[in-house]
Structure 1
C-alpha cells in the first residue's frame, strides 16, 4: 500500500517506469524535483502543527565553508575552500515531530523507501543514525538563511512546505 500523503496522480512511486524516469532525471541533473509531491492536506497538516511548535525550535548561528569542514590553513583565507558562509536557522528535531505527522509516515513508509532505493540506485535505506536528525523541520523567518553547502550524507530528501513570501531561492 502506498503512502496516503503522496500525490499518486502526479507521482506514482510504485510504478517501475516512473521510478526509472526519476532515476534518469537524478542521474542527468544531479537533483530531482518532484513538484506537488505531497497532498495539499498533508502539507497543511505539517505546516499548522509546526507553527504551533515554532517557539520550541532550536535556533543557531554558525559560519562554515561549503564542505562543512574546518578551514585549510595551507590555503589563503580568500580561497574558495576557506570562504565562509552564514547559516542562521531554527529547527524542530525528530523528537519534536508528532507521531501522527505525515512526515513521519512518509519517512517510515516502505513504498517511499523502495522508491528512493530505485531512484538512488542502492539496495537498502537504513534509518538515520542520529535519532534527532532523522526528520527535522527548518524555520527560516525573514533574515534567516541556510548557507549553501554540500551535505555530509550521500543523499537528502528536502520538502518545501511553504514558499517564501519574497526573496529566498529553493
Structure 2
C-alpha cells in the first residue's frame, strides 16, 4: 500500500519543510505531538483486522516495576519513590509477526515518513532495530490492563492508536519531572505523583492518531482499560544509530523470547 493511500496527506503535508518545522516546535514546547486522523479509516480497519487475527500470538505479561525501570536499591525503603512498585500488563505481537503487506510495515519503511520523523525529532537519520522483534510492535490492553507510571529510557516514542476501549486507557503525563542526564531523579515530586497529589495532563487521542512523545524526563502512564473492547496501540521503534538490537534480557522480559 503506497503511503498516500494509508495516511491523510491533505491534512499532513509531511514533505513540507514549514510543516515539519511547525511539528518540531510543538514537540519541543510540549514534549508531545498529536496528529489526529493521521491514518485513514480504511487503514485503521485493516490493522484492526490483522490485530484481531493475530491476538492469539501475543505474549501477555503482568509485572511490577519502579517508575525508573531499574532494580531495587536497598539504600531506600520499599515505599520510597526510588523503589515503590507499580503494575503494568499488556499483550504484544512483534515485528516478525507483522505481515509484510501490513499498512504498519508500509508506513514504518516509507522513506518520506522516516525523513519526516527524523526532521521533527531533530535526528540525522532513523534506523530499524537490528533484531527481528523490536521495530514494529502491536500492543493489546484488555479489560483491567494498564501501563504503570514510568519514565522511558529512550529519548522519543512513536505510536499510533489503532483501537480505543469503551473507557479507560487514558494517556496521562507530567513533563519535566526529572533531569535524567543530570542525574536528578526528583524523588519528592515522583512521590507526589504516586500519591495522586499532582495534577496530570491527558492526551486526547482517537484511533488513527500519530503521537510523538518525549518520555525520558516526562513521567507517564496509561490508565486501566475498561469494557470489552481491547485497546490496540502500534509502537514504531527506531534508533538514531544503525545496528542496535534489544538486549537478550530485555527481549525475554518484553517478548518472552529472543528470536
Q: TM-score per shorter chain, which class?
A: over 0.9
Please state if 1:124 is matched with 2:129.
no
Instruction: Give the match for residue 154 of structure 1.
Output: 155
Give the conservation status (yes or no) of the 8 Å contact 2:67–2:85: yes
Instruction: Give the superposition deviation at 1:2.
Output: 5.0
What per-residue deviation string (whole Å, max 9, x for no partner) do you get for residues 31-88 of structure 1?
1111111111111100111101111111111111122111222122111121211111
What per-residue deviation string (whole Å, max 9, x for no partner) do you get for residues 124-164 of structure 1?
11112332011010010101112232222221111111111
Give the conservation status (yes or no) of the 8 Å contact 1:117–1:123: yes
What is the TM-score when the length of structure 2 is the normalising length? Answer: 0.63
Instruction: Give the match for residue 103 of structure 2.
Output: 102
Instruction: Give the match for residue 20 of structure 1.
Output: 21
- SS of equivalent residue, structure 2 residue 24: helix
Instruction: Give the superposition deviation at 1:12.
Output: 1.1
Question: 1:1-170 to 2 correspondence within 5 Å?
Answer: 2-170=3-171
Give the conservation status (yes or no) of the 8 Å contact 2:3–2:106: no
Cα separation, 2, equivalents of 1:19 and 1:143: 38
What is the TM-score when the length of structure 1 is the normalising length? Answer: 0.94
Give the conservation status (yes or no) of the 8 Å contact 1:3–1:105: no
Cα separation, 2, equivalents of 1:130 and 1:87: 24
Instruction: Give the superposition deviation at 1:3.
Output: 4.6
Cα separation, 2, equivalents of 1:56 and 1:119: 34
- SS of equivalent residue, structure 1 residue 27: helix
Cα separation, 2, equivalents of 1:34 and 1:149: 23
What per-residue deviation string (whole Å, max 9, x for no partner) do you get for residues 98-132 of structure 1?
11111101111101111011101111111123320
Structure 1 spans left out of the alignment, 5+ residues: none
Cα separation, 1, equivalents of 2:131 and 2:67: 22
- SS of equivalent residue, structure 1 residue 115: helix
Cα separation, 1, equivalents of 2:150 and 2:4: 31
What is the aligned residue count? 170
Structure with more of its chain in strand, by fraction: 2
Taking structure 1 as reference, are residues 84 and 130 closer, same or farther at Cα in structure 2, changes over 3 Å only?
Answer: farther
Taking structure 1 as reference, are residues 141 and 2 closer, same or farther at Cα in structure 2, changes over 3 Å only?
Answer: closer
Over aligned residues, Cα RMSD in angstroms? 1.4
Instruction: Give the superposition deviation at 1:22.
Output: 0.3
Structure 2 spans left out of the alignment, 5+ residues: 172-259
